[in-house]
Structure 1
């Protein structure tokens, strides 16, 4: 139970005092291999899952169940012709993919895979490093990663990559604000930014139950952060061909591709550590034999399973939703996610402040507020907007936007605004007449 603000940020609970240089090396090599192999597995899972969702076969020829297709794609990228642009900024053009990949690999340095274990006779936590400001480190590195996209688009000296890079910058600014606010509310509740301490603080109750609005905000923001459908505006093939990667080929494109999937693992793992108990065993397995599954090497399994559940959710969203329009995307970030995250942060600060002077159970109050938020969200989700928007003309007259909408009024086609409707298609008028004619011809025969 938390009844007051922490006097200071809690120090990490992970003990690295016995670690040696070769233990650090083993952990670092394991993280790199884990991320690369996870990307290969993610490619196979995504293709097979999307194939089933969209009633397609998916890869099923190369290797068992098509699992070798990801290895074949990697070999193809390494053997593909590496094109160098004549008009590109040479140094930045080559450095940009490396920036994205380096930042993507760096985030897992502070990710806890499990508790203290014995490794070759040395007691060490299943974590490479930790800090009292580990969450700030994660946000900082994630912010630096966008420089690879922006510089790659600018250095290509081409229009579409530049537009993709600009969109990436706008997207990160918009959605990292909401993501940071959601994580900040958890810091107020837990009193620490250390990843190992965050996991330790969720022994009895996961933060997702205490800070449900923050988790919802973070989950939506993390989809926008990794440029996944329906938020893949920087590389939308309908408008920008392939965005910042248009002028890249071979392994330079491969580094961008690799960093995108590693970032999916990064944001999923952060959600697991901050909201879903980290490596702690889910209930009711946590109650078996006094928590035997929370000791030794078992917790690594729970950490991987939780991460991959969120990874599959990202794949599921890609196979279900359509790409958003860019103005709708910005509206969601600035007018919905940021106000919700900021409102929840203020509510948490007020409740924690009251709890510092009284003996109230702040956790129970936050759980009740989270339940109220869930009910309000469900009600708003299912209530249809029946408002009738009006437009005010320059002369002060009020008109109904649903009447006489002309998409070519400005000389070029424009999409309808909210509340406006396109006129019925001429084909829709001809379709009933054609179907009736066809039926009469069939009856005559």
Structure 2
């Protein structure tokens, strides 16, 4: 069980090899940027009532903006490596992340229309007053979760690092500590996206039923359990589905998810205005 931890520690003590033809400064900065952005985003994630580092009023915008910046670290790595495989993997990753961020943005708007606030804690409290948003917005929750798989380059959307095509993709030239930072950044992004999904659709730290014995369990434990469930789905998808072709990946994002998410915004906005059910309208 401790083998993965030992492997990670080993990477930090090995020699970092930088290709002679690489842009050395950008080559080293890229994995650091990816790792730092993944950690900085956690500043606005509330894991319990009042348990948040920065409870800002535009938390969801901050979170979406920081997660969108992750593509720059990957592009920098692909360009600085001076390798055709790394560059192609980075371009694939950039196109993939930008494509699915559009759908994610529209889905977040549907949640904001119902919750009436950009504050992440307020979004969770809105689900306490009504119901978890996964119930009325179930199709949106599914699309959002699938989009997080593409956003984090996880299977079956791991095209940027497809071993059979790109020899590990944008991090092909990385080793030792720089590779470990990419590795940690990717998994930190996975956990961040599960936390984001938990807040938007699964009630954050709220128990499934506000009765005993469910409300005896502290909120942070419920938050961790929901994230663990979503991480299990990440692993289940990885073991179940084959990798998509690149054209299938792009078609799914632009021709399926984008029209559905855009239609959902119009439908939810129409319902909110017609029945006056959101604080934003009052």
Please report the TM-score for the alignment, with normalisation by the length of structure 1: 0.61
Taking the aligned partners of 1:292 and 1:165, their CA distance within structure 2 comes to 46
**Contact kept in structure 2, 1:265 and 1:311, CA below 8 Å:** yes
Partner of 1:287: 211
Q: Which of 266, 269, 284 is equivalent to 2:195?
A: 269
Partner of 2:24: 90
Partner of 1:195: 120
Structure 2 unpaired stretches of 5+: none
Partner of 2:236: 316
> What pairs with 1:219-238 in structure 2 (closer than 5 Å)?
219-238=145-164
1:153 aligns with 2:58: no
Taking the aligned partners of 1:261 and 1:349, their CA distance within structure 2 comes to 35
Q: Which of 249, 255, 259 is equivalent to 1:329?
A: 249
SS at match of 1:287: coil
Structure 1 residues 207-216 or 186-195, which shifts more? Answer: 207-216
Structure 1 unpaired stretches of 5+: 1-66, 116-124, 363-445
Taking the aligned partners of 1:239 and 1:154, their CA distance within structure 2 comes to 18
Taking the aligned partners of 2:42 and 2:115, their CA distance within structure 1 comes to 21
Structure 1 residues 271-280 or 195-204, which shifts more? Answer: 195-204
- Displacement of 1:292 in angstroms is 4.2
Taking the aligned partners of 2:273 and 2:208, their CA distance within structure 1 comes to 31
Taking the aligned partners of 2:26 and 2:215, their CA distance within structure 1 comes to 51
**Contact kept in structure 2, 1:213 and 1:341, CA below 8 Å:** no
Higher helix share: 2
Taking the aligned partners of 2:133 and 2:102, their CA distance within structure 1 comes to 20
SS at match of 1:201: helix
**CA deviation digits over 1:175-220, x for unaligned, max 9?**
0001111111100111111111011111141111121222111011
Partner of 1:418: none
Q: Which runs of 4+ in 1 moved over 4 A?
A: none
- Displacement of 1:311 in angstroms is 0.4
**Contact kept in structure 2, 1:213 and 1:344, CA below 8 Å:** no
SS at match of 2:117: coil
1:77 aligns with 2:11: yes
Q: Which of 321, 337, 344 is equivalent to 2:264?
A: 344
Taking the aligned partners of 2:98 and 2:2, their CA distance within structure 1 comes to 38
Partner of 1:143: 68
Taking the aligned partners of 1:239 and 1:151, their CA distance within structure 2 comes to 20
SS at match of 2:212: helix
**CA deviation digits over 1:309-358, x for unaligned, max 9?**
000100110011111000000000000011111111110011112123xx
1:183 aligns with 2:108: yes
SS at match of 1:207: coil
Say how many residue pairs are matched. Answer: 277
Q: Which of 213, 216, 221 is equivalent to 1:301?
A: 221
Partner of 2:39: 105
**Contact kept in structure 2, 1:90 and 1:155, CA below 8 Å:** yes
Taking the aligned partners of 1:218 and 1:109, their CA distance within structure 2 comes to 21
Q: Which of 186, 189, 199 is equivalent to 1:260?
A: 186
Taking the aligned partners of 2:144 and 2:75, their CA distance within structure 1 comes to 23
**Contact kept in structure 2, 1:110 and 1:129, CA below 8 Å:** yes
Partner of 1:443: none
- Displacement of 1:252 in angstroms is 0.2
Please report the TM-score for the alignment, with normalisation by the length of structure 2: 0.95
Q: Which of 37, 51, 58 is equivalent to 1:133?
A: 58
